[in-house]
Amino acid sequence: ARRRRLVARDLNAAIRAVSGHEGSIAKMAVAYSRAGPLRSNCYEFARRLTRGEKPVDAAIAAGVPLELSTAIALESPALEQPKDEQLEVKQPDSRGGVGSDWADWYQRDSWSMPVYAQLIYLMVVAIATCLVLNFISIMIMPTLAKMFEEFGLSLPMPWLSQGNLGAWVAGAVLLLLLGVALTIGIASLPAFGRSWLPSMPARARRKAETLYGIADAVDTGWPIGRGLAMAHAISLRPAERRQLESAMRAIEQGSQPLAALRQSGLITADQEAWFTDTSGWRTADRLRQIADRNVRDSDLRLRWFLALFFPAVVVFLGAVVFACGLAFFVVLLELVSGLS
């Protein structure tokens, strides 16, 4: 899945780069159809392009994961953004909710361990701990218990000889991981968008892609409603389509576009206040700022949560190993004392 997301991001960037050159999109689709996780989608995309279909319609039919910015670039010619002599706006270097400022901050913080690497490390440590405990309880403790029985001694720490000791530890770690997954999943729901609880950065980035696309639509001269309709047409995720349908329905019922974005959960009530006395390209700039801020805040919340959870699990596993090791040496000392 991670590779598919990276390839989709590269494909969208390549399509945006050649969107103004006739015939280049089909060549790009053919190139991506030769290998990679999107090769079948790109093959169908290229086939439909050669038949004369519009690029956006062909991509939707082929299941190509288009970003909203890419779809707008295919539908409209590139327009230069108006510039204000009093205020210079720094445009982001990349799409998908990650602007240049955020990218620079992320590079400065690149020494830290990625989230997935922390989880993999915890799983490896937990599995190793369970294997060691099972080896002690299954291979060593029965022999010691037999020796205690032969010499007429009572076995201390009888719980060490239970063969499911490692399974209990594995179950405790799995329950902790399940609790973390449920916490992050619940916090990622729109109702908890401003909570201090950690949320999924991937969801924040998907929402940022939509906000970036709407900003591009505003720059192009489209109304926000048309941008939402385009986002709904190209979306491949049912939850995202429902969110966009909610915003479109609110606009149809007479709500202001920004109020519709708030009602659907794309922006918060506090963020809606950013658009006071703004219009045109300033609105687009505010949308990009909100997208960057959402991604940054989501990542930071998850990092501080894992900064507490990761050492807690390591300390828990270390305490279990220490207790089992101490109990094992107590058994050995009892055996030596009983024989002496």
Q: Is the pLDDT of residue 160 over 50?
A: yes
User: Could you give the dihedral angle defined by the CA atoms of residues 95, 98, 102 and 103, in that order, rounded to the nearest 10 degrees?
Assistant: -70
Q: How far apart are CA 193 and CA 195, in angstroms?
A: 6
**Centroid of chain to Cα 302:** 10
pTM of the model: 0.71
pLDDT band at 77 (very low <50, low <70, confident <90, very high): low
Q: What is the pLDDT of residue 230?
A: 93
Mean pLDDT comparison of 50-54, 270-274, 302-306, highest-scoring range: 50-54
Give CA separation, 43 vs 10, 32, 67, 171, 304, in Å.
16, 8, 18, 45, 43
Q: How far apart are CA 267 and CA 62, in angstroms?
A: 31
Q: How far apart are CA 114 and CA 306, in angstroms?
A: 10
Q: What is the pLDDT of residue 108?
A: 41
DSSP H/E element including 26: helix 24-32
What sign has the CA pseudo-torsion 117, 118, 124, 127? negative
What secondary structure letter does DSSP report for 80?
A: P
Q: How far apart are CA 235 and CA 63, in angstroms?
A: 9
